[in-house]
A and B are shown apart, each in its own frame.
Chain A
Amino acid sequence: MFGSSMEAHHLLYVYLSVWLIQGGYCAWIAWQWLRSGKDSRSSIPLDSETGRDS
């Protein structure tokens, strides 16, 4: 299926690039999440996080 023709190359590029873009975006969120976790560990929780009505 993934031979040397243009069709085969393009099929491979589609599947690889989708995983790369989606995985890259998810990794970026995870990176920001870990970074922000370090910064805000000692802070006050939002009402929405404690489950209280605001």
Chain B
Amino acid sequence: MQRSRILGPIGIVWLGLTLGVIAYATRLGLFLAPVDALQGNVFRIIFYHVPHSMLSLLFPYVNLVASLFYLFWRQRDPLKSLTADAVAIASAEVTVVYASICLWTGMLWGRVEWGLWWTWDARLTSMLLLWLLYVSYLMLRKLSSTGQTQTLAAVLSVFAAIDVPIVYMSIKWWRTQHPAPIFFSGDPDAKMDPSMLPAFLWNVLGWAMWGIFLLCFRYALERRRQKREQDAALQAIEASLEMAQ
């Protein structure tokens, strides 16, 4: 049996589960989690903002690992390198989607809480830089006409991944306006109230499942594109051989 015939139903079941978890998490975040004593209802933005921010720092590592495999395999095993390249482009796009949401929802929260849409704070600036790096990665792949586009993109991906720990550590290394992290901060004031944790954790789970679904779906699309390009190349070779005869 073809692998795609098994993966199709699994994908549909996964999507159904994911939408169920997101619906439940959204209900918890919007209607059941208690109102924050200091911020009021605008605090509920956190239930979408923080999971997207956390995941936008994880998908770049999928891109990095895939890019490293691409660089390793590109001359040793071109077929495997194509698989790695498909994972790399899929994860870069998902990174841009999650980082865009992180920046946008952060701006909407900042406008209410700080009275500012944007400030050149270390966390915000390093996150914007991360977004720009992955947008430039996608632009390079889209616009470059050299035969080395995938290799150049893989090298850029290695450099872009360096920004991820800088974004994560920015609120520890520098004095910033951004709130301290909810977990692993050591600051008791920054910790989330236990009554809000279920809404937060369900949202992390739901958006992580959604991100995995998008990653797999985009990967499958890229593999289909690669297959079409291989077919076109094969047909061109066959046509040239027929002409030679």
Contact = CB atoms under 8 A, between A and B. Distances in A.
B230 A46 contact: yes
B49 A14 contact: yes
B108 A14 contact: yes
B221 A48 contact: no
B224 to A, nearest CB: 5
Interface string B86-113: 0000000100010011001100110110
A8 B224 CA distance: 44
A43 B231 contact: yes
A50 B223 CA distance: 13
Nearest to B94: A25
Interface residues of A, number: 33
B215 to A, nearest CB: 10
Interface in B164-184: none
A48 B3 contact: yes
Contacts of A46: 223, 226-227, 230
Given A14-B45, A18-B52, A33-B220, A49 B101 contact: no
Contact of B210 (A8, A22, A47): A22
B74 interface: no
A34 B45 CA distance: 34
Contact of B217 (A10, A18, A29, A36): A29
Contacts of A43: 227-228, 231
Interface centre among A14, A30, A40, A49 (most CB of B within 10 A): A14
Q: Is the contact region of chain B dominated by helix, strand, or loop, or is it mixed?
A: helix
A22 B4 CA distance: 24
B224 A25 contact: no
A2 B123 CA distance: 29
Nearest to A21: B101
B223 A36 contact: no
A2 B97 CA distance: 26
A40 B97 contact: no
Interface of B: 1-4, 26, 30-31, 40-42, 44-45, 48-49, 52, 77, 79-80, 83, 93, 97, 100-101, 104-105, 108-109, 111-112, 210, 214, 217-218, 220-221, 223-228, 230-231, 234
13 contacts: A1-B30, A1-B41, A10-B108, A11-B41, A22-B210, A29-B214, A33-B221, A39-B228, A40-B224, A40-B228, A44-B231, A48-B83, A49-B227
